[in-house]
């Protein structure tokens, strides 16, 4: 037999879980999700992925260090890189904050920043 206090406790826990889920869903991306590309620790590109209207490819580095990104609304990926192992290409789509593709031979990091936590953490 449940007491009135037990029902309040269960209701409060359900409410807290619901609020936590909403904050988690909001922090996963959407408006303010930024694509950032660094080479040798210097930022060479930054763009808001929520503002991309049509998919396109962008060449960031020319030969011999060629690096081509495919960019769509809310996500991006490396489609061509002039490195021997192609790990950055095989990383796939970067969609959520903290997703990243790294090309060590070219000293390039392609990552997603965004959500509520990035502003505090930086």
Residue 59 lies in a domain: yes
Within 13 Å and on the Cβ side, how many CA atoms surround 38? 12
Q: 57 and 70 in contact (C-beta within 8 Å)?
A: yes
Q: Is 21 within a domain?
A: no
Residue 2 lies in a domain: no
82 within domain boundaries: yes
Model confidence over 57-74: pLDDT tens digits?
Answer: 999 888 788 889 999 999
| Residue 16 is assigned to a structural domain of this protein | no
What pTM was computed for the model? 0.66
- Quote the number of domains for the chain: 1
pLDDT lower than 50: segments of the chain: 29-30, 116-122
Comparing CA positions, the residue from 73, 112, 74, 115 lying closest to residue 91 is: 112
- CATH code of the domain covering residue 86: 2.60.320.10
Q: For residue 114, what pLDDT is reported? A: 81
Asked if residue 18 is part of any domain, the answer here is: no
* Range(s) of the domain holding residue 86: 27-121
Does residue 1 lie within any of the structural domains? no
């Amino acid at each position: 037999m449940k007491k009135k206090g037990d029902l309040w406790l269960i209701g409060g826990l359900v409410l807290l879980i619901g609020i936590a889920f909403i904050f988690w869903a909001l922090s996963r991306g959407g408006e303010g999700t930024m694509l950032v590309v660094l080479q040798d620790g210097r930022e060479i590109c930054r763009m808001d992925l929520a503002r991309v209207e049509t998919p396109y490819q962008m060449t960031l580095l020319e030969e011999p260090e060629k690096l081509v990104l495919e960019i769509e609304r809310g996500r991006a990926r490396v489609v061509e890189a002039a490195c021997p192992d192609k790990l950055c290409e095989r990383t796939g789509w970067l969609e959520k904050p903290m997703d990243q593709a790294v090309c060590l031979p070219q000293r390039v990091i392609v990552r997603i920043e965004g959500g509520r936590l990035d502003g505090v953490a930086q």
